[in-house]
Chains A and B, each alone.
Chain A
Amino acid sequence: MTRRSWIGWQFTAPFLALFTLVFLAPIAYSAYLSVFRTRLVGGTTFVGLENYTKALSDPQFWESITRVVLFLLIQVPIMLGLALLVALAIDSGRLYGAGFFRVAIFLPYAVPSVVATLMAGFLYGIRFGLVGSINEALGLNLPDPLAPGWILATIGNIVTWEYVGYNMLILYSGLKVIDASLYEAAAIDGAGELRIIRAIKLPALRGPLVVATIFSIVGSFQLFNEPQVLDSLAPNSITTYFTPNIYAYQLSFAGQQINYSATVALLMGVATMVVAYLFQLRAMRGEAR
């Protein structure tokens, strides 16, 4: 037993050492930084929870949170809804070329978010993008997708494009492992396609949907790449506190407010975990019912 014990640690130790370095130590370090304040004159002083009370009454911090929550509430249902429809369509066996659909709709996932956003920036650009071309050709005056009023919707569109195929494949995999005898039973009972979807497929997809939603919640709260890349294409639309992550980044690298930046990053990390956890709890309770 003691020898075994030692061996098990040997297998786990390399991972744990690095996990400590890139997960536990940064969390501890930012918790440490968050209770100090550094000033050019006066140096570093201990300020207790002052950075936290500052964050909680910081309108820029709240605006960034409101924005990602709005994003979460609108973009995620649209994306997962589309993914669900496509997964059901491909699984229905009624599509011509279903395999081609599956692979092609999944492909955008292979595109790094930086590249996807650069593409979108060009596509939507008024100068030589598609929107510009269409406006010119048809004499229309379509709104500028990179204007302040539209930029969040545009980011939603980019994120949907990137991840709809990935979520579709998660849901499709969930459909593939449904026991075929359930369909036979349903057919004997004379159930139609919609009835089968409602009574068999959707309940079977609950687990995969919970997983997909949790990943989407985390992704929304941590939104960074897309607005950061769009910033150089639409500088007037992306503020320095557009999302909490952009805010933490700006505070640290443009504002030199390292202690406050660590506080914001820590608060958002905790908030993300709490929301993801609460959602999972709720989803599990629904399943137990």
Chain B
Amino acid sequence: MTATPTVRAAARRPGRPPLKPAARKPRRRSAVLTVVTGVMLAYAILPLAWLFISASKTQEDLLATFGLWFGGEFALFDNIADTFTYQDGIFGRWVLNTVIYVVVGAGGATLLAALAGYGLAKFDFRGRRAVFAVVLGGIAVPPTALAVPTFLLFAKMGLTDTPWAVIIPSLVSPFGLYLMWTYSTEAVPNEILESARCDGAGEFRIFFKLALPLLAPGLVTVLLFNLVAAWNNFFMPLIMLKNADLYPLTLGLYSWNRQANTVGGDVVFDLVITGSLLTIIPLTVAFLMLQRYWQQGLAAGSVKQ
């Protein structure tokens, strides 16, 4: 229990200036360094610009005009309408599925990690060390390595080709538990818990009323990690789902692209591109709005080993 992340300990040291480098004198800005780093910026941004530009083109322009500039006609809204009406509007169904998988999967994973992390941090019970060792080992087990065995097991249990096959695996986040355990150790003082117990409050009431608000920054971080994982989930749905009505967006776009590359298949590259643009918008917006939390979360994650 002594492995408190040194970064957070340093951040909380009294008398230390806030995280803004206020103590450092303002530096002379360098145009050269800005331009050099700008190359990296272009590398990161250009494909996204290409995606937006391409989503605004008709299928003919897509094939005929230069990739990094707009075509003759601005067809973005037509393309969006086409994307949502193609194949009886299955794209909307995929959006809905993705939202369900993300909300239930990432939300549930965060709650379970918080409960377990808090439980491990605040209660001394028989077998606690064993639990902790097993779960920490779980961090090193890559989920993709387990995917095929999980499929075989779920097939035996009759869970494949149901939403549960996607949701259940995403409910477990060993790394999330680790972060919540760290946060609980630091952010929830034992004195508060003791006094609440003296007042006769039940342990779960204490957790939801007292501890959860104190854990909020950690919760947001773990939620964001789980959110990205659930939003990007592809391997699990690919092997678990046959019914296209259950697909998340990633698998749906993949199936459209595959179909377009099959001989005799319906060529819908414009829909794949527009669908891709629509897929990345929600998470991009969430990132831009929550970037401050991301940074704090990553700082807490980059603990000294």
A residues contacting B by CB (< 8 A) are: 1, 4-12, 14-16, 18-19, 21-27, 29-30, 33, 82, 85-86, 89-90, 92-97, 101, 103-116, 118-123, 127-130, 133, 137, 161, 164-165, 169-174, 176-177, 179-181, 183-184, 206-208, 210-211, 218, 221-222, 224-225, 228-229, 232-233, 245, 248-249, 252-253, 258, 261-262, 265-266, 268-269, 272-273, 276-277, 280, 283-284, 287
| Contact in complex: B113, A265 (CB < 8 Å) | no
> CB distance B250 to A19 under 8 Å?
no
Counting CB contacts under 8 A, is B24 at the interface? yes
Whole-angstrom CA separation of A12 from B305 in the bound complex: 25
CB 8 Å contact bits of B261-305 with A (1 = contact, 0 = none): 110000001001100100110011011100100111011011111
Please name all residues of chain B whose beta carbon is closer than 8 Å to the beta carbon of A262 when the two chains form the complex. 148-149, 152
Are A112 and B142 within 8 A (Cβ)? no
Q: Which of A5, A10, A118, A165 is close to B126, meaning CB atoms less than 8 Å apart?
A: A5
**B298 contact from A113, A122, A169, Cβ within 8 A:** A169
- Chain B residue numbers with a CB within 8 Å of A181 are 23
Q: Assess the A269–B146 pair: CB atoms within 8 A.
A: yes
Please tell me the number of chain B residues within 8 Å of chain A, measured between CB atoms: 116
B276 touches A119 (CB 8 A): yes
Stretch at the interface among B63-71, B74-82, B85-93, B212-220: B63-71
A33–B152 contact, CB under 8 A?
yes
Q: Which residues of B contact A105 (CB under 8 A)?
A: 40-41, 44
Q: Which residues of B contact A (CB under 8 A)?
A: 6-7, 10-11, 16-17, 19, 21-24, 26-31, 33-34, 36-37, 40-41, 43-45, 47-48, 50-51, 54, 62-64, 66-68, 112-113, 115-116, 118-120, 122-128, 131, 134-135, 137-138, 140-142, 144-153, 168-169, 171-172, 174, 177, 203-204, 207, 228, 231-232, 234-235, 238-239, 249-251, 253-254, 257-258, 261-262, 269, 272-273, 276, 279-280, 283-284, 286-288, 291, 294-296, 298-299, 301-305
CB of B44 within 8 A of CB of A22, answer no
CA distance A127 to B67 in the complex (A): 11
Question: Would A261 and B148 be within 8 Å (CB), given that A93-B27, A107-B44, A284-B305 are in contact?
Answer: yes
In the bound assembly, the distance between CA atoms of A107 and B41 in angstroms comes to 10
* CB-based nearest A residue for B282: A110
Q: How far in angstroms is the closest Cβ of chain B from A253?
A: 7
Q: State whether B128 touches A173 (Cβ < 8 A).
A: no
| A11 in complex: contacting residue of B44, B66, B115, B294, CB < 8 Å | B115
Say whether, besides A5-B123, A107-B284, A180-B24, A218 and B142 are in contact (CB < 8 Å). yes
A197 nearest CB across to chain B (Å):
13
**B33 engages A94 (CB within 8 Å):** yes
Tell me the bound Cα distance from A245 to B236 in angstroms. 13
Q: Would you give the shortest CB distance from A168 to chain B, in whole angstroms?
A: 9
Residues of chain B lying within 8 A (CB to CB) of residue A165: 44
A16's contact among B116, B152, B287, by CB below 8 Å, is which? B116
Contact, CB under 8 Å: B23 / A184: yes
Q: How far is the CB of B254 from chain A (nearest CB, A)?
A: 6
Known A11-B207, A22-B146; judge A174-B7 contact (CB<8 A). Answer: yes
What B residues does A265 contact at CB under 8 A? 145-149
